[in-house]
Structure 1
């Protein structure tokens, strides 16, 4: 998005903004090249370690074997079913966490009494690892999708809830008082004052939660045996098909990259008005 320069901006600021935008445009191809260089370096190290015997190539096949296997599994229907199940589990868990974390975050954040009353409980529950709930999930749901959803919801909820709390706490109380004096209802104050202030925090929480949700989805499939990519990885490992196993791991990593790109694109779209996205230099 092109930055609009207000007429009152002084010449120094105009030049500074123009230089910053030019620098960013020139820096994008460089960042892309650095990213590819990093991946290529990792693959070369991996290949070399497997070929010279630093690691046992039976258990860590070189990428020249794994990458062709990756493209081969893309032609299998079972792979796409497992991929779809993983994405579905991830999406449902993340969506529920987003709604619950946003609603509860705003409700608690706007009430000083609720913030004080829930502080100790939040600080007690938040550090508990989601994987510690695996026995409970198995007892409740067995090897079903609901078990993975429980872990995803628990882990992702805190990412969003805490960020929303920070966002609500950042609301300008003068603006809230002004809204009351103009007769804004509580919903209008939330819609026009709280939400715009909270949105950057919410998008950060959503981006973090999206990555955590994928991690927990695959973890549940690996350890509990719920359907998805994690279960296919476990089957390949148990069957001694290590090349296929690493190809599936590579597919999981690619899915994570796509989710991260999607989350960042959503963040840029929703925050196109925000200074952090527009890239303006502070006065």
Structure 2
């Protein structure tokens, strides 16, 4: 069996084991099945939601805000990282600002986003943009800082300018680490967009569905089924980004495997 097949089998076994443990905990453990439905019931509801004409548009709304904010964060953060790395004095001046702003949670900015933007989608995108920007920016800055100085000096010694060194050495070396930052930011952005929908989504998106499923007496099975969908979105996004990284940066993957 190939290495990829082995990883898939182990992942599937891990998921199956988690489902079995959750099923046993609700049916024979301390949890009341009325409060915490069995895993089999939750999975059945999740499958049913796949054909729900009202739920799928909510998922699409969450994906639009999530991917829109992530794309803007990627473009802005990589560009800013390049600018800061090329201007050391600006990098030193901005470092304190970055470290001050980075710990501010996106959810604390919900009131500001609601006031600043006319639509809920724009508010969600702005918060995803805020939360996703920091992992990408930090990874880009550290990656550019750790580019092999010998490679850069070698290129300069042959008469290449700053732009050529950036395009031929710095960017190729930093790109895999910036891509890792995007993958981390994707998970962070998904958490932020669903949380924003829970607190201020006006019934929109997956988070709005989770909130509405608890109103009117509550449907914990539907709520957990919606949460399963949020988890599935995260798994799919991570798998796609990992596959894109391996395809785009094959040379980096080969070096990593060789070092391991």
Asked if Structure 1 and Structure 2 have the same fold, meaning a TM-score greater than 0.5 normalized by the shorter chain, the answer is yes
- Name 1:237's counterpart in structure 2: 214
2: distance between equivalents of 1:86 and 1:187? 39
Question: How much has 1:134 moved relative to structure 2?
Answer: 1.7
Alignment partner of 1:193 out of 161, 166, 169: 169
Is 2:251 aligned against 1:269?
no
State whether residues 82 and 228 of structure 1, in contact with CA within 8 Å, keep that contact through their aligned partners in structure 2.
yes
- CA distance 1:49–1:278, change in 2 (3 Å): closer
Gaps of 5+ in 1: 1-24
1: distance between equivalents of 2:105 and 2:118? 19
Question: How much has 1:158 moved relative to structure 2?
Answer: 0.5
Is 2:173 aligned against 1:172?
no
Alignment partner of 1:253 out of 214, 218, 231: 231
The one-character-per-residue Cα deviations of 1:78-133 (angstroms, maximum 9, x if unpaired) are 22111111111111100000000000001101222112111111111111121221
| Bigger mean CA deviation after superposition, 29-38 or 228-237 | 29-38
Question: How much has 1:138 moved relative to structure 2?
Answer: 2.5
Is 2:135 aligned against 1:159?
yes
1: distance between equivalents of 2:152 and 2:144? 11
Cα RMSD, aligned residues only: 1.9
Secondary structure of the residue aligned to 1:76 is coil
Secondary structure of the residue aligned to 2:147 is coil
2: distance between equivalents of 1:83 and 1:277? 38
Where does structure 1 differ by over 4 angstroms across 4 or more consecutive aligned residues? 275-278
State whether residues 271 and 277 of structure 1, in contact with CA within 8 Å, keep that contact through their aligned partners in structure 2.
no
The one-character-per-residue Cα deviations of 1:203-223 (angstroms, maximum 9, x if unpaired) are 111111111111111111111
State whether residues 195 and 207 of structure 2, in contact with CA within 8 Å, keep that contact through their aligned partners in structure 1.
yes
- TM-score w.r.t. length of structure 2: 0.92
- TM-score w.r.t. length of structure 1: 0.85
Count of equivalent residues? 258
Is 2:100 aligned against 1:136?
no
1:28-43 aligned at under 5 Å gives the runs 28-43=4-19
State whether residues 143 and 224 of structure 1, in contact with CA within 8 Å, keep that contact through their aligned partners in structure 2.
no
Gaps of 5+ in 2: none
Between structure 1 and structure 2, the one with the greater Rg is: 1
2: distance between equivalents of 1:150 and 1:261? 25
